[in-house]
Amino acid sequence: MDLATFLVQCLNAVQYGLLLFLVASGLTLIFGIMGVINLAHGSFYMAGAYLAFGLAPLFGDNFLVMLLAGVLLSALFGYLLEWVFFSYLYEREHLQQVLMTYALILVFEEVRSILVGNDVHGVPTPPWLSGTIPLGELMTYPVYRLFASAACIAVGVALYLVVNKTRLGMMIRAGASNRDMVRGLGINIRHLYRIVFAGGVALAALAGMIAAPMSSVYPGMGGHVLIISFVVVVIGGIGSISGALVASLLVGFVDTFGKVFFAEYSGIGIYLLMAIVLVWRPQGLMSKGY
Amino acid sequence: MTAPRHLIVPALAVLALLLLPLGLTPYTTDLVLKIMVLAIFALSLELLVGMTGLVSLGHAAFFGIGAYMVVVASPEWEAGNLAVVIAAGVGAAAGYALVVGALSLRTQGVYFIMVTLAFAQMAYFLFHDTQLFGGSDGIFLNVRPVLGPLDTGDKGQMYYGVVGALAFTYALLALLRRSRFGHALAGIRVNEQRMRAAGFNTYFYKLAAFVIAGALAGLAGTLLAIKDGMVNPELLSWHESGAVLLMIILGGLGHLRGAVLGAAAFTLLKELYATPGLVGDFLASHWQLTLGFTIIAFVALLPKGLIGLFERLRGAKP
Amino acid sequence: MSTSNAAVPLLACENLTRRFGGLAAVQNVSLALHPQQLHAVIGTNGAGKSTLINMLSGEMPPSEGRVLLGGLDISGWPQHRRARAGLGRSYQRTTVFPEFSVFENCRLAAQAAHARPWAFWERADTCAISGPIAQRALKAAGLADVATVRSGTLSHGQKRQLEIAMCLATEPRVLLLDEPLAGMGSEETERMLQLLARLKQHHAVLLVEHDMDAVFRVADCITVMVNGQVIASDTPEAIRANPEVQTAYLGEDQTAPAGVEQPH
């Protein structure tokens, strides 16, 4: 493999990993703070992709505005969903949470089927991001993929700043380590949970929106990304955003280079990675010890 | 309560199952056959979830592996040996369960749920994406296996064979439940730490339960493959894993008959929701919607399942 | 320190230390336990008593130091292996199995050492080995008359007795008892103290307790811990007269209020 190809694959790996990070960080936040295992998280990703499909004609070239609109819509949706449904899951056993959120997936899948059907769709790349840039003498790299990575990094930095430098973030971190204490301090825990949940949904949906022009928009995409984000959370440790980042990038590299070297068997690569981590450090690479 | 009283209801059920084909259409008999196979599958998960407290979201992997092994172990155009294909199915499923269990049981709680799901997905990929086992289209079982005079191609014999398998599985689990091993599993379910403090090596007990459950799921899979004459990767999908988990909750966790009841209820509900004549065209084509809401309502209102409902109704009498 | 024999102690720890990040919850603790001896460990909240017991029972690995059972280094042994070797433990918070009968609780505990899990056709509740052991343990703990009761319905004091019974059912040589008197009224405390006095005759007992009166009544030897370290280890009379101990316990000769969990 020559240097240019290697570089391209590295960029692909990072881009895929960063996108996963967005989804996984939402998942790990929701579990870490509220203690809910949410199987429907992949559906939010799918919803984001379909949202992009639906909104693209309306916004035309204003891609960034569309992303913003999508984030706001999905955050609102997440807020309402938490209020109406998820808030009832917090005190329940994991088994019940699994079943309820599994049922939610079924509902979401059918709603999507009713609203937009079961076809595979494409979302056009906005013109100003459609070019390629040269890498070395023979290879080029799509601008959009670089944009995707940049967008994910920007969101990651914003997430870091919010969690570590704001009052809201302080409450989130406190809630992650000690739920009862936070309640005892008089912080409106319900409101906090709603915001965190809305944030988690928005992160997943944003990832779906960003991913839409690169991969097609198809019915099974939610399930696929869900299981991979579970693997990321297991490797990185529940509740750890930095762990999610490290694990996402690891998974990105294993998957991308796996595809290059092992073609059709590459799908099992990330599970082998997970198996290795389980043998070595069952609590996750950077777990807070849930 | 003396032992024989416990046996009356199951004995009657077996009798009823044996007599059913006489009075039902071939379609309905086939449905009952499907329910029985799924009941074995559900019973195997009950051992894990209901008896040991291990919530696995990847149980379909063992089901699917068992099914595939029947086709893989059968010659392409002749009948395979029934004993061999079943042994292959159960053995392969148990083998994978040993590997998955050994790794997954190093985790607990939510991690365990996610890890079992991931390992099942790994198996799914192997069957779906690679050409090792026919890829996403699946493979056909061209000739049903035989063993001496027994021919699984004969629908009648197949039916009675499955009744026997279901009775065997139920009896086995009932025995396990009241044995020392079963009591230890129950203790692990209630308070694993206490069991360790008493001197139990809980890891090995859980692993044993995991492997037995996997083997029984494999048995169910072999029967399904023989019944349907074909296998496809969707048997290992997480939707299948979710479905079997649903079955045991629907029926009532912690009861063997709950698993059987749940398998029947789930299958019948799916049939119901997908029949235009009963729910109208729109809902029939979007049956997952109705199913989803039903599940939510069930878990919210009847967390103890149908068995719980029956007990409450019985208890309501003065 | 009074010892009943000068032979190898049944249970001993040497320089046991446990750190959590920068904090040393237990520092350089050494003690020895001999048969027919009741050794009490007392200390203020946060003194490290729970951490110490967890390291002795095998639930928590030490950062430094060794644990020895009958002279054998068991520092690396997991808890269930230590339990099988004769190290029994009861817990501060009640850990009985509420849905099982009192008898079944003990029988299950007894089964651990005699498990033959492959004999799956045999009923557990009529097991000829674990059953009698459980009966003896229940009798020793004074619970023989409530054997068939669902343990979840027992009174708090009876649950604490069951906790001990389950420990006895594993036929241990050493008993690690973590605040068995927690939350008990005076009558129940009296019964428990008589039980402890009986237990002392056949086992080595390490007792972690808050109730000073109780401790001074039954202990042959008392170790006092403050902030993770041992400040004194001697006979009850010597401890009572020890000025450092008096300073540490100024005004703390009260029993813990019933029903209140004392974290430490």
Chain B residues with CB-CB distance to A265 below 8 A: 129-130
Q: Is A180 an interface residue toward B (CB < 8 Å)?
A: no
In a domain, C1, yes or no: no
Q: Which of A107, A264, A272 sits opposite B289 (nearest CB)?
A: A107
Mean pLDDT of A189-203: 89
Q: What angle do CA C25, C30, C35 make, to 5 degrees?
A: 125
- The confidence band for A286, taking pLDDT boundaries of 50, 70 and 90, is low
C109, C144, C171 — which closes off a domain? C171
The answer to whether residues C79 and C105 belong to one domain is: no
Q: CB-based contacts of B51: which residues, under 8 Å, 6+ apart? A: B176, B177, B182, B185, B186, B189, B209, B254
Which pLDDT belongs to residue A155?
A: 93
In a domain, C203, yes or no: yes
* Nearest to C99, CA basis, from B47, B259, B53, B56: B53
The answer to whether residues C181 and C56 belong to one domain is: yes
- The confidence band for B112, taking pLDDT boundaries of 50, 70 and 90, is very high
The answer to whether residues C14 and C76 belong to one domain is: yes
- The confidence band for A18, taking pLDDT boundaries of 50, 70 and 90, is very high
The answer to whether residues C136 and C196 belong to one domain is: no
Which pLDDT belongs to residue C250?
A: 58
CATH of the domain at C81: 3.40.50.300
Q: Which residues of chain C have pLDDT under 70?
A: 1-6, 250-264
The answer to whether residues C80 and C145 belong to one domain is: no
Helix (H/G/I), strand (E/B), else coil: B191: helix
pLDDT of B2 over the 60 cut: no
Average pLDDT, whole number, for chain A?
A: 87
* Range of the structural domain that residue C48 is part of: 9-86+172-257
Write out pLDDT tens, residues C141-183.
888 888 889 999 998 888 988 999 999 999 999 999 998 888 8
* Nearest to C156, CA basis, from C135, C179, C130: C179
- Joined together, the tokens standing for residue A57 give 């004609």
Which pLDDT belongs to residue B24?
A: 80
Contact C83 B194 (CB under 8 A): no
- How far apart are alpha carbons A6 and C9 in whole angstroms? 65
pLDDT of B231 over the 90 cut: yes
Q: Which of A238, A278, A290 sits opposite B103 (nearest CB)?
A: A278
Contact B121 A264 (CB under 8 A): no
Contact C79 B184 (CB under 8 A): no
The answer to whether residues C62 and C33 belong to one domain is: yes
Which pLDDT belongs to residue B179?
A: 92
Total tally of structural domains belonging to chain C:
2
Contact B107 A278 (CB under 8 A): yes
In a domain, C191, yes or no: yes
Write out pLDDT tens, residues A211-224.
999 888 888 888 88
- Joined together, the tokens standing for residue C17 give 């230390």
For the beta carbon of residue B67, count every other beta carbon within 10 angstroms: 32
Write out pLDDT tens, residues B19-66.
887 778 888 888 999 999 999 999 999 999 999 999 999 999 999 999
Which pLDDT belongs to residue C169?
A: 92
Q: Which of A103, A107, A227 sits opposite B117 (nearest CB)?
A: A227
Say how many residues make up chain A.
Answer: 290
- How far apart are alpha carbons A28 and A232 in whole angstroms? 9
- The confidence band for B217, taking pLDDT boundaries of 50, 70 and 90, is very high
Which pLDDT belongs to residue A134?
A: 81
Q: Which of B183, B194, B200 sits opposite C95 (nearest CB)?
A: B194
Which pLDDT belongs to residue A81?
A: 93
Contact C117 B205 (CB under 8 A): yes
Residue A286 near residue A243, CB atoms below 8 Å: yes
In a domain, C147, yes or no: yes
A240 versus B139: which is more confidently predicted?
Answer: B139
Which pLDDT belongs to residue B4?
A: 66
Exposed e or buried b per residue across A118-144, where buried means at least 16 C-beta atoms within 10 angstroms of its C-beta: eeebebebbeebeeeeeeeeeeebbeb
Phi-psi map region of C37: left, alpha, beta (phi>0 left; psi -120 to 50 alpha): beta
C141, C171, C201 — which closes off a domain? C171
Which pLDDT belongs to residue B120?
A: 95
Exposed e or buried b per residue across C24-39, where buried means at least 16 C-beta atoms within 10 angstroms of its C-beta: bbbbebebbbbbbbbb
| Smallest CA–CA distance from A31 into chain B, residue | B110
Chain C residues with CB-CB distance to B179 below 8 A: 117, 119-124
In a domain, C239, yes or no: yes
Contact C117 B201 (CB under 8 A): no
* Nearest to B231, CA basis, from B119, B45, B85, B99: B85
Residue A87 near residue A193, CB atoms below 8 Å: yes
Least Cα separation, residue B289 to chain C (angstroms): 38
Q: Which of B110, B293, B294 sits opposite A94 (nearest CB)?
A: B110
In a domain, C100, yes or no: yes
Identify residue B254 by its one-letter amino acid code: G
Mean pLDDT of B260-282: 90
The answer to whether residues C73 and C137 belong to one domain is: no
**CB-facing half-sphere around the CA of B73: CA atoms within 13 A:** 24
Which pLDDT belongs to residue A285?
A: 67
- Which of A99, A231, A276 is the mutation pick for testing B, counting most B CBs within 10 A? A99
